[in-house]
Structure formats: C-alpha cells, structure tokens
Amino acid sequence: MEQQDLATQTERAPGARRLGEPIVVIDGVEKSFHGTPVLRNVSLTVRKREVVVICGRSGSGKSTLLRCIDQLETIDGGTIRAAGHLMGFRERHGKRVPLRDAQIARQQRDLGMVFQNFNLFPHVSVLDNVTMAPVRILKRDKAEAETEARALLQRVGLPDKENAYPRQLSGGQQQRVAIARALAMKPKVMLFDEPTSALDPEMISEVLDVMTDLSEQGMTMIVVTHEMGFARAAADRVVLMHDGQIVEEAPPEEFFQTPKSEHTRLFLSKILQH
C-alpha cells in the first residue's frame, strides 16, 4: 500500500484534543534480561490526553517499555513517573526506596493495561471480569459497579454479552472486554501492548474503533502497535524503537513523510510494502 493511500484513508479531526501537562515521564530507563540490555537510556514524555504510538521490530524493546511503565517488569535504572507516582519506588530523604508488592499494586490501579492475548479471567463471566477489580479491590458497591460495567460494555459495543464466559467470545470481543475491564478502574493512562496482533484481520477494526473513540474522549494512551492506519488517525506522536532505544519521535505526518532516522525509513518500507 502506498503512503499516499494511507494518508487519505483516515483523517484526523484537527484540534479535537488539547494536550495537558506531562502525565508519564520516562527518564533514562535501563533494563536488561539476564545481562542482555533490552532498554538503553530510554526517555519519553507523554502529556495528558496525548496518544503516543510506539512501533518497531520485534525485540526492539517496545513491549518491555510498556511493561516497565506498568511495573510488570522492574527497571534497572532511570525513573518512570506516571499518573503522579514514581513507579516502583518512593522517595525518602532524596533516596529511592523500592516499594513492596501492595504499594506497587496501588500505583498500578491508576494505569490501565491491555494485552496482546487479552488475558481475560476465563473462570468468571464477562460482567465479573469488568467488576472484579472495582468490587473486590476497591470495595465499591456491587450494584453500582455493575451499572458502570454495563455502561462500559455498551461503550465497547458488547451490551448483550455480560453473562457470557470469555471463551464464548471472538478474539475481537474478548479484547474489547479487556478494554472495558481496564477502564473500570478509571485509569489516568491506558497502555496497549499490541492489542490487535493476535486478532484475525476482520476483527482488528472493531478494536481499533473502540481505541479511537477512547482517544477522542481525551484518554491518555500509549499504544504499541503495527497498525499504521491507527497511528495516522489517532496518534499525536509516533515513536520508533530500535535495539532498546528511541530512534525517532515525531507527529504522524512527519513520521511517515519525512522520517529523520534511517531505521524509520527501513521500518516503514517493510511495513508499508503489503
């Protein structure tokens, strides 16, 4: 597909969102797995209501970066501030002290995460997937949480599926439930880790539509994806990672039309060829 086609395929409503103050600040983050560096001095700032798409080849560290933001991985160096928290640590007399499990859990409640493989809880119904965290963790009133969950399921286009079990849903439906589950915690930032990579082609758009809606309603989003159409339509900035580093960071028009990095040109030529 030609780049021109992509540009006309989806048009972004200009000025729909006004960006706010920085809400995710990643500063000099380092991460290694068994001595192999995966993230090397990564810095990135995301502002409130901003949508940032991260792309790059597999193994470039983009998923690891997302998992580090949500404390699913612990970082070896640098700092991550998100939704008002210094993720994974607290500061005492200018020193950083690692947080315990329960305290990290409290930080994680302000971030929503959507996974490539959905990871819905298979042993409970769709409704219970959405209400489990608000009711069991935040001790919210059950009836109230269920009303909100039904509204969320409506929002992701699944109003009649609340009693189904995850296995009874298609991949696209499961991913939309996963988005509703994350939104039920009223997160300040949503993280998407290749949300459409495990989906059949005909189901990709139903998930991307929900994500686009979300971005238009002002949700701050960091999205790791290969869906360049979504990047064009919804992103404020596109980031390319290569070998554990950010090598390009630009608004979509610039990213696709006039990339500065050789890596970006190579990446785009490969991903846009078919």
Partner 1 sequence: MNWSWPFFFDYLTNGLMLRGAWTTIWLSVVSMILGLGLGIVAALMKMYGNRAVRYLAEFYIWLFRGTPILIQLVIIYTGLPQLGIRLSVIESAILGLALNEGAYLAEIIRAGIMSVDKGQEDAARAVGMTWRERMYLVILPQATRTIIPPLGNQFNGMLKTTSLASVISMEELMRNAQMLAQIEFRVLEAYSVAAVWYLVLVSIWSAIQVRIEAHYEKPFGPAAAGALKGKKEGEQTLKKAGAA
Q: Are strands 189-193 and 111-114 parallel, antiparallel or unpaired?
A: parallel
Q: Smallest distance, Å, CB 45 to partner 1?
A: 22
Positions in 201-260 near partner 1 (CB under 8 A): none
Distance separating alpha carbons of residues 122 and 166, to the nearest angstrom: 6
Positions in 44-73 near partner 1 (CB under 8 A): 67, 70-72
Interaction between residue 198 and partner 1 (CB under 8 A): no
Sheet containing 77-82, strands listed edge to edge, beginning at the edge strand earlier in sequence: 36-47, 22-33, 77-82, 85-86
- Residues with Cβ within 8 Å of 45's Cβ and at least 6 positions away in sequence, in order, are 22, 24, 25, 26
Beta bridge mates, 112 = 190
Which residue, 157 or 229, has its beta carbon nearer to partner 1? 157
| Eight-class DSSP state of 151 | H
Q: Smallest distance, Å, CB 156 to partner 1?
A: 13
Which residue, 74 or 258, has its beta carbon nearer to partner 1? 74
Which of these ranges, 38-46, 79-87, 129-137, 202-210, lies near partner 1 under the rule CB under 8 A?
Answer: 129-137
Q: Smallest distance, Å, CB 66 to partner 1?
A: 11
- Residues with Cβ within 8 Å of 21's Cβ and at least 6 positions away in sequence, in order, are 47, 48
How distant is the alpha carbon of residue 4 from its chain centre? 27
Distance separating alpha carbons of residues 237 and 254, to the nearest angstrom: 9
- What x-and-dash track marks residues 167-196 binding partner 1 by CB under 8 A? xxxx--x----x--xx--x-----------
Q: Which of 6, 25, 124, 266 binds partner 1 (CB under 8 A)?
A: 124
Beta bridge mates, 241 = 246
Q: Smallest distance, Å, CB 138 to partner 1?
A: 9
Which residue, 193 or 236, has its beta carbon nearer to partner 1? 193
Interaction between residue 105 and partner 1 (CB under 8 A): yes
Q: Which of 9, 58, 74, 119 binds partner 1 (CB under 8 A)?
A: 119
Distance separating alpha carbons of residues 214 and 34, to the nearest angstrom: 37
Which residue, 6 or 132, has its beta carbon nearer to partner 1? 132
Which residue, 51 or 191, has its beta carbon nearer to partner 1? 191
Neighbours of 103 (CB within 10 A): 14
Interaction between residue 139 and partner 1 (CB under 8 A): no
- Compute the C-alpha angle 138/70/209, nearest 5°: 85
CB 55 within 8 A of CB 239: yes
Return residues touching partner 1 (CB under 8 A).
67, 70-72, 101-102, 105-109, 111-113, 115, 117, 119-125, 132-133, 136-137, 160-161, 163-170, 173, 178, 181-182, 185
